[in-house]
Amino acid sequence: MSKNKKTPTSNTIALNRKARHEYFLEEKFEAGIALQGWEVKSIRAGKVNISDTYVILRNGEAYLLGAQIQPLNQASTHVVCDPERTRKLLLKQRELDKLIGASEREGYAIVATAMYWKRHLVKVEIYLAKGKKSHDKRDTIKERDWQRQKERIMKHNVR
């Protein structure tokens, strides 16, 4: 048998569920994020919110805007903490070029949908996204309700 295998736990830190409702998510990217020490401690404690988070592109680099990481009292006594500071995303040049081209030429938004652990590193899942109109949102809600109703009918018919 193997030595001291840890039980598999969820590696998801935070989710942006609103993004699936507000946007058509098209192409997925995985980015590293440049963090300070106090931020990593707060992330381990689960004090993260990425519900209104998006990515801006400046000087050929990508930055995460709107992510809130609340500082811990014991971890941040000697450091000036800014919970909503702009954090640099670590992407390959080819990925950056693709994001810049899509956002400038085709009018795509770049939205963060999840933050998670990958081994000991914090990663952010970002998508190229097109904004939904209100009628698209209604169609999505109608489709989801119909799927639920279908499941109920099928479950009832099986019994």
CATH number of the domain to which 80 belongs: 2.40.280.10
Q: Does a structural domain hold residue 153?
A: no
Considering the domain boundaries, does residue 4 fall inside one? no
Enter the pTM of the model: 0.74
Domain holding 28, by residue range, is: 12-132
The token duo for 6 is 């840890």
End-to-end Cα, the chain, rounded Å: 43
Residues 50-89 have pLDDT tens digits of 888 888 999 989 999 988 888 887 755 677 788 888 999 9
Q: How many domains does the chain have?
A: 1
Amino acid at 51: S
Residue 60 lies in a domain: yes
Tens-digit pLDDT profile for the chain (159 aa)? 445 544 456 788 888 888 887 888 888 999 999 998 888 888 888 889 988 888 899 998 999 998 888 888 775 567 778 888 899 999 999 999 998 988 888 878 899 999 999 988 999 999 998 887 777 778 888 888 899 998 888 888 876
